[in-house]
C-alpha cells in the first residue's frame, strides 16, 4: 500500500513539473495554438512507450539466456558499461518513442504546421514516458526527489528528436537543405545521449566492478565518469529548454503546412 501511494505521488510530481513546462511551451507557440487532442495524445503514447519499452527490455534480457549472460559478463568492463545501456535501455526505448512521435505526426498530419509543433510532440512523448517511468520506479519516494534535477531529461532528448524530424520535413517541403541526415539524427542523437547517461548511472560497471574487486583506480574512474555524466545531463536538459525558448520564434516561422 505504501509503495502504491509513493508511486502515485511520484507520478503526480512528475506530471505537475513537466506539465507546467509543457504548458509554458504551448503558450509560446505562434497562434493558433495546438488543440487539446494534439497536446494530449502524444503524452498518452509516451506513457504507452514506457510500458512497451520496459517489456521489450525484459524480452531482450530473457532472450540473452544464461549462456548469453555468461558470455556478456566475460566482456571487458568498459564494453559492458556502454553495450548494456545501449542494448537494454537506450535503443529499444528511443526506438519506441520515435514510433510514437511518428504515429502522432501521422494522426495530425494535416494540422502540424511548423517545426515548433514537431518539438512539442517530441516533448509530450518524453513527458509521458517520464510519468510512467517515475510511477514504475518509485518504490522509494526519496528516489524521486533525488531524480528531480534529471526530470526533464527524456523531455529534452525527445524535443531534439522532434526538432530534427521537423527540420527534415521543412527541408523536404521547401527544398531548403538535407533531409536524410536530419531524419537519421532524430534517432541517433537521443540514442547516444541516453546511452552515455545510463553508462554513467544505472550501468556503471566500473563502479560496481571496482568496488567488488577493490580496484581503486577503476572505482575512481567510474565515479568521475558518473559525476561528469550526471552534471552534464542536468546542464544539457536545462540548456535545451532555454534554447528552445530563445529560438521559439525561429521554429514557429519554419512553416511546414498552413494551419487548417
Residues 203 and 81: beta-carbon distance below 8 Å: yes
In a domain? residue 239? yes
Q: Is residue 258 in a domain?
A: no
Tell me how many domains the chain contains.
1
Residue 145's domain comprises 2-252
Residues 161/187, Cβ–Cβ less than 8 Å: yes
142-186 per-position pLDDT tens digit = 556 666 667 899 999 999 999 999 999 999 999 989 999 999 999
More confident residue, 2 or 148: 148
Q: How far is CA 196 from CA 81, 127, 186, 187, 193, in A?
A: 9, 20, 17, 15, 5
CA distance 106 to 215: 52
User: Measuring CA to CA, which residue among 233, 159, 192 is closest to residue 85?
Assistant: 192
**What local confidence, expressed as pLDDT, does residue 133 receive?**
84
Within a domain: 40? yes
User: Does 259 map to a domain?
Assistant: no
Q: What is the mean pLDDT of residues 89-110?
A: 96
Phi, psi torsion values for 114, nearest 5 degrees: -155, 175
- The answer as to whether 257 is a domain residue is no
pLDDT-based confidence at residue 194 (cuts at 50, 70, 90): very high
**Mean pLDDT, residues 232-236:** 93
Please write the tens of the pLDDT for every residue from 22-54.
Answer: 999 999 998 888 999 999 999 999 999 999 998
Q: Please calculate the CA angle 51-12-163 and round it to the nearest 5 degrees.
A: 60
The residue-averaged pLDDT of 110-133 equals 94
Is 231 within the bounds of a domain? yes
Work out the mean pLDDT of the chain and round it to a whole number.
89
Check residue 30 and report its DSSP letter: P
Torsion angle of C-alpha atoms 41, 43, 45, 50, degrees rounded to 10 = -170
Asked if residue 143 belongs to a domain, the reply is yes
Query: What's this model's pTM, rounded to 2 decimal places?
Result: 0.92
For residue 44, tell me if it sits in a domain: yes
Determine what percent of the chain falls in helix, strand and coil, rounding each to the nearest 5: 85, 0, 15
| Assigned C-alpha cell, 182 | 536530419
Residues 6+ apart with CB under 8 A from 177: 167, 171
Q: Tell whether the model's pLDDT for residue 139 goes beyond 70.
A: no
Residue 117: Cβ within 10 Å count: 27
What is the SS3 assignment for 114? strand
Average pLDDT of the segment spanning 213-230:
94
Amino acid at each position: 500500500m505504501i509503495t502504491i501511494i509513493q508511486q502515485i505521488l511520484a507520478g503526480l510530481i512528475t506530471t505537475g513539473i513537466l506539465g507546467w513546462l509543457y504548458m509554458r511551451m504551448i503558450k509560446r507557440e505562434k497562434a493558433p495554438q495546438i488543440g487539446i487532442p494534439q497536446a494530449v495524445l502524444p503524452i498518452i503514447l509516451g506513457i504507452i512507450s514506457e510500458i512497451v519499452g520496459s517489456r521489450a527490455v525484459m524480452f531482450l534480457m530473457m532472450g540473452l539466456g544464461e549462456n548469453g549472460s555468461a558470455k556478456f559478463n566475460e566482456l571487458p568492463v568498459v564494453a559492458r558499461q556502454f553495450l548494456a545501456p545501449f542494448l537494454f535501455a537506450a535503443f529499444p526505448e528511443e526506438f519506441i518513442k520515435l514510433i510514437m512521435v511518428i504515429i502522432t505526426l501521422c494522426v495530425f498530419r494535416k494540422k502540424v504546421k511548423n517545426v515548433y509543433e514537431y518539438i512539442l510532440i517530441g516533448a509530450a512523448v518524453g513527458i509521458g514516458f517520464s510519468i510512467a517511468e517515475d510511477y514504475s520506479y518509485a518504490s522509494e519516494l526519496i528516489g524521486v526527489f533525488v531524480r528531480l534535477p534529471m526530470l526533464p531529461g527524456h523531455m529534452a532528448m525527445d524535443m531534439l528528436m522532434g526538432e530534427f524530424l521537423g527540420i527534415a520535413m521543412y527541408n523536404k517541403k521547401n527544398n531548403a537543405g538535407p533531409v536524410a541526415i536530419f531524419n537519421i539524427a532524430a534517432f541517433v542523437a537521443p540514442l547516444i545521449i541516453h546511452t552515455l547517461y545510463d553508462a554513467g548511472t544505472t550501468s556503471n560497471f566500473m563502479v560496481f566492478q571496482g568496488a567488488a574487486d577493490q580496484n581503486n583506480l577503476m572505482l575512481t574512474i567510474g565515479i568521475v565518469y558518473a559525476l561528469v555524466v550526471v552534471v552534464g545531463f542536468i546542464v544539457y536538459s536545462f540548456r535545451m529548454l532555454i534554447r528552445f525558448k530563445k529560438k521559439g520564434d525561429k521554429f514557429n516561422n519554419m512553416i511546414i503546412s498552413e494551419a487548417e
